[in-house]
Amino acid sequence: MSKGESQNRKGKGGRKPKYNYTGEEFLSLIESYAKKGFTDKEIAYAIGILPHTFCEKKTKYKEISEVLARGRAQINAAVRAKFLAMALGGIKTKSTVVRKLRDIEGNLTGEEEMQVSESELAPNLQAMSVWLYHHDEDWRKVERNQDEYSNLQRENGIDIDKWMEDNESED
């Protein structure tokens, strides 16, 4: 039997794929890495394939892109919520002391809060500004006008340091 005939018998050539790229287990693994904030390159190395190969598989199997988007959307929502909470400030519970209640025989019967320590978290003005810049068109217009105004002042105004140097040499 010739070499060509033996290859025809085997059917499709090449080696077996490392993963079932549309399988639930693989897609779940990819989504878990996306939820942890991994980049595509980091995910590729974590699962043991080259970034270029991962990119090809993403293009070939839309399921991979979908689970990446779903995982990243969840982490983005969580970060956005924390960022907004930081911007707004409010009450932050630092610690709670709980006493375990037991009967005469030592069996647990319940819990009682003994002490709750709270502190107020001040609003973060920079976080507020960033949030508004990205979510409020009117705020964005105001910010852009301020930037343009400050650039005009620098271009057309007086450089204080240069003015002081010039006036010191006259004395």
CA dist., res. 59 & res. 21, Å (int): 12
Note whether 87 and 128 are within 8 A (CB).
yes
Please give the pLDDT value at position 46.
Answer: 95
The pTM of the full predicted model, rounded to 2 decimals, is: 0.53
Residue 170 binned pLDDT confidence (cut-offs 50, 70, 90): low
Query: Residue 6 — very low, low, confident or very high, per pLDDT cuts 50/70/90?
Result: very low
Which residue has 């006036």 as its token pair? 167
pLDDT digits (tens, 9 = 90+) for 32-50: 999 999 999 999 999 999 9
**pLDDT band at 29, cuts 50/70/90?**
very high
Confidence bin at 64 (pLDDT 50/70/90): very high
The region, left, alpha or beta by phi > 0 then psi within -120 to 50, assigned to residue 129 is alpha
Instruction: Calculate the CA 119 to chain-centre distance.
Output: 27
